[in-house]
Structure 1
Amino acid sequence: MPRTRVSLLPLLPVALLLPLATACGGSADAGDADTKTVTVTVGYQSKTINTVTAGTLLRSLGYFEEELATRGRKDGITYKVAWQDYATGAPITAQMTAGKIDIGSMGDFPLLINAARGKQMGEPTRLVAITGYNLRGGLNTVVTAPGSTLRSLADLRGRKVSTSVGSAADGTLVRALQRAGIDPDKGIQKLNQQPSVGASALAAGNVDALSQFVAWPGKLAFEGRATALYDGAELNLPTFHGVTVREKFAEERAGILDDFLKAQRRATDHLRARPVAAAESVAKVTGLPAEVVYLYNGANGIATFDPRLRPELIAALKEDVPVLKAAGLVGDVDVDAFVDQAPLRRAVRSPAYPEAAAAKPELWLRGATTTRSFASPKELLRAVEGADVRAAYVPDALTGTLWFADKAVWVADGTELRAFVTPAGAQRYVGRHAGARIIRYADAVRLAS
């Protein structure tokens, strides 16, 4: 029988289909009652720190307001920015399709839902820039509670797992389970929860694992409330966050969109030039530990910040469509029609940055305004001993995903010391290298010296 196309409308919670009570103002299309004043509404996720160059950091730096002020001096109009903060991308999409948010930022899977919902509701949207990305997928992680007996993804069979359905973290979970030979619908008990709810459920022992996106896994690990079970980079599929805009706004207020993209580029320059200061700034606003922000957004962080719409990312977006279709969250999505390269090319000259280099071990000492990088994990560990360490970071020996050195799983292989995000990764390495053994972090530090 031919497959019946499922409408997205009945599948999403009613709350996401209605204008939120917290929304303030309207879109920039009509302007304020005073025709000399135009308000631009930006939806962002302050604690989804892969979007900070289009959200938290951008807002704190005031670059968008500066660009608009320059425009205002030329055309005699006063421009205002209304920033609206949300926990996930879904309510941003709901507000955009209601014409109440002009520009928004969210992850790759929510972006596809944004595209589908916009078209369905007669308020089409466009993807115009990237914020942060990881070409292997390391921004999503499955974690378990400290002391859990679970050691690999295979151990999740029949277990309760919390995630946010429709998010990139859910996409990672689905794909990872499939590769492990586990039916993502029947092989586990999946709970659809907000990240904070899932974190509480994990702490209370109500779920066995949590699959979430940046910065939740790193935050929980840093606070000693979780250990990594699966590194999303093992999928070797790009994941990213990006900027979406209402098509009508992009056409009627092209100059304002240009100003936003210019401001985003300036914020990206700031983050890349002053990563420690940027991490401290984001931490102050969000309440996240600066050490966690730096894990993702630092000089060697898990995320690479570059607004360019890289072909690898667009190709990955197309590969994401079948996952959401299988979950009944979207029908067909025309990714090529959704992606719009023109605004960024128009607004920013030479928008691309140099390709990201492989992550290096990195040390952040207390009181320091810069960090120090090392050529090897052993050199990092030598520097750690006796130092007043704020945070030490080390890349996974196989995936390159940066992780906290004291939370990593360490392996001694002859005179070499290697770090892994997960026990499974370390065990696989040990199984392939005779004489290699898993050791404690304290022993790794001792052996390094």
Structure 2
Amino acid sequence: MRIQPLLATFMITASFAVSAAQAETIRVAIGTQDATINTATGGLIIREEKLLEKYLPHDGKYKDVTYDIQWKNFTSGAPITNEQIAGKLDFGVMADFPGVLNGVAHEKAGRKSIFITVLQGSVKGSGNGVVVPAGSPIQSFSELKGKTISVPFASTAHALLLRAVAAQGWDPEKDVTIITQAPEVAGPALQANKIDAHADFVPYAELFPWRGFARKILDGSQVTSPTLHGALVDAAYAEKYPEIVVAYLRAAIEADRRIAAEPEKYSELIAKVTGVEAEVDYLFHGPLGLQTRDLTWKPEFRQDVAAAIETLKLLKKTDQGLDINTFISDRYIKEAFKEAGLDYEAHLKNYEQLPLKAKDALTGEEIKDPKRVAQIWIKDEPLVHHYASAENAFKAAKAFEAEGKSIRVFYAQDRESGIKLLGAKSWFVRTDSGEVSAFLLKESADGWAKNHGGKVLDYNGARAAVLASN
């Protein structure tokens, strides 16, 4: 008489056991480069705002899944690749050159990785740059012949350096001495004047000048060599869990939306996590920034990856190529855009900087010309003030100081390239009509003054000239 209840108990217990056995724990392990601040929307912000948890699927085959989310931060792409090959990471965030080496390493290991999205970059090349010691007399790259230049070898900045050398018609083996140095080594070397120049990637060509011991003399946009940072995933993982890959990209899209809406807030968050000052973070993430946050695979970015493959062969860092058509996949990012209600094709065609939609904080006029814009961030204030011109910004700065307020940073846009500049490190031309334009390089300012009339001034000189005329 007791057999039936016992049997029922056994069946219930067995059912729970089967259910427990079927419940799956899926690892989502992501390798980030927090200090490489243009990767923030693919790592740091997603992690700090817990955006991945928001989008991971919990229905269908994922109904009873438990997610093991793991974040690991690195200073460069190479160790991320090593961790992926060792099976310890599923996703990796890195630049074009390390990304190619990631793909090659996977193939050599009998596996495959795929580049699933761009996070931030520049079709013109901004982000990579060359700096010299702050006290150096050198004002342009053309003056580096016979000099010693350091660079992280096999990096995207290495490619910039080689292209800049070629543009001068120099032999990289004879006309300059190129040595390998990571940014943490190059910084002290610049301070001690042990090297003549240093080429590097985000954020060091801006960070070193901001910290006062270097001066930028070449921006990647002058060489017109596209550059990007993006995200890769293990191909087998993506094939098994495509919905998780899309969820990660949905999180990246939201991170991008958040920082576009509140660039000051998130520049402060990036600074808190990385130690890279918010003033530098805003150079990249604020409106009219140095790079575009762009999750689409523009033809220029595809070509950038293809060029990276060939350059790495030239540098003898690899003897193996990659099929660009299978290494880059827009399948997942297109689905993420679709689920987010965004038009991928429209974004693919958009090459504009993050726009600035604002009125001049001094005059109230609508800001129309992005290459004339200047901005002021006041100490202890949450938002940046925008101005239609450097002249208006200089006048506003004087008024702020009269009120006892401190200028945290003054930004200007390069009149020719349109890239955002640290105003105190820039050159200016003031014409006879009083119009002021900003430039990264003195030679550019000289050329503008010659063609348009006016006087070349440094930051203090330009400000004094504007204030003296009022």
**TM-score interval (norm. to shorter):** 0.7 to 0.9
For 2:180, the equivalent position in structure 1 comes to 192
How many angstroms does 1:412 deviate by?
2.4
How many angstroms does 1:351 deviate by?
5.5
The separation in 1 between residues aligned to 2:61 and 2:306, in whole angstroms, is: 42
The code of the aligned residue for 1:179 comes to A
1:409-420 to structure 2, matched below 5 A, reads: 409-414=427-432, 415-420=434-439
For 1:8, the equivalent position in structure 2 comes to none
The separation in 1 between residues aligned to 2:59 and 2:443, in whole angstroms, is: 54
Alignment of 1:213 onto 2:197 = no
Greater mean alpha carbon deviation, residues 167-176 or residues 322-331: 322-331
Show structure 1 runs of 4+ deviating over 4 A. 69-74, 351-354
1:3-402 to structure 2, matched below 5 A, reads: 36-68=24-56, 70=58, 75-330=63-318, 331-349=320-338, 350=342, 352=344, 353=347, 355-356=352-353, 357=355, 358=370, 360-387=373-400, 388-402=406-420
The separation in 1 between residues aligned to 2:244 and 2:205, in whole angstroms, is: 35
> Residue deviations 1:114-171, cap 9 Å, x none?
2222222222111111111122111111001111022221222222211111111111
The separation in 1 between residues aligned to 2:59 and 2:440, in whole angstroms, is: 47
The separation in 2 between residues aligned to 1:217 and 1:238, in whole angstroms, is: 16
> Residue deviations 1:391-440, cap 9 Å, x none?
1111112222211111112222332222111233323434x426433212
For 1:443, the equivalent position in structure 2 comes to 461
| Change over 3 Å in CA distance of 1:301–1:35 after alignment to 2 | same
The code of the aligned residue for 1:96 comes to Q
The code of the aligned residue for 1:362 comes to Q
Greater mean alpha carbon deviation, residues 346-355 or residues 401-410: 346-355
Maintained 8 Å contact 2:132/2:197: yes
| Change over 3 Å in CA distance of 1:122–1:178 after alignment to 2 | same
The code of the aligned residue for 1:123 comes to R
Maintained 8 Å contact 1:126/1:338: yes
The separation in 2 between residues aligned to 1:398 and 1:44, in whole angstroms, is: 34
Question: Aligned pairs, how many?
Answer: 416
Alignment of 1:404 onto 2:419 = no
> Residue deviations 1:39-59, cap 9 Å, x none?
211011010011000111111
How many angstroms does 1:384 deviate by?
2.2
The code of the aligned residue for 1:400 comes to G
Greater mean alpha carbon deviation, residues 329-338 or residues 234-243: 329-338
The separation in 1 between residues aligned to 2:81 and 2:447, in whole angstroms, is: 41
| Larger Rg, first or second structure (1 or 2) | 2
Percent identical across equivalent pairs? Answer: 29
| Change over 3 Å in CA distance of 1:87–1:410 after alignment to 2 | same
> Residue deviations 1:1-41, cap 9 Å, x none?
xxxxxxxxxxxxxxxxxxxxxxxxxxxxxxxx996322211
| Change over 3 Å in CA distance of 1:442–1:74 after alignment to 2 | same
Maintained 8 Å contact 2:57/2:247: no
Maintained 8 Å contact 1:112/1:321: yes
The code of the aligned residue for 1:38 comes to I
SS in 2 for 1:305: coil
Maintained 8 Å contact 1:409/1:441: yes
The separation in 2 between residues aligned to 1:399 and 1:236, in whole angstroms, is: 11
How many angstroms does 1:214 deviate by?
1.1
Maintained 8 Å contact 1:65/1:80: no
> Residue deviations 1:341-397, cap 9 Å, x none?
111112222264454345632222223322232222222222222423221111112
The separation in 2 between residues aligned to 1:375 and 1:200, in whole angstroms, is: 38
Maintained 8 Å contact 2:29/2:89: yes
Maintained 8 Å contact 1:160/1:189: yes
The separation in 2 between residues aligned to 1:36 and 1:390, in whole angstroms, is: 51
| Change over 3 Å in CA distance of 1:334–1:381 after alignment to 2 | farther
Maintained 8 Å contact 1:125/1:338: yes
How many angstroms does 1:69 deviate by?
7.1
How many angstroms does 1:96 deviate by?
1.8
Question: RMSD of the TM alignment (CA)?
Answer: 2.1
The separation in 2 between residues aligned to 1:307 and 1:179, in whole angstroms, is: 30
Maintained 8 Å contact 1:227/1:407: yes
The code of the aligned residue for 1:370 comes to L
The code of the aligned residue for 2:431 comes to D
The separation in 1 between residues aligned to 2:396 and 2:22, in whole angstroms, is: 61
The separation in 2 between residues aligned to 1:163 and 1:307, in whole angstroms, is: 27
The separation in 2 between residues aligned to 1:307 and 1:400, in whole angstroms, is: 21
The code of the aligned residue for 2:377 comes to W
The separation in 2 between residues aligned to 1:296 and 1:40, in whole angstroms, is: 28
From 421, 424, 436, the equivalent of 2:440 is: 421
Alignment gaps of 5+ in structure 2: 1-20, 356-369, 401-405
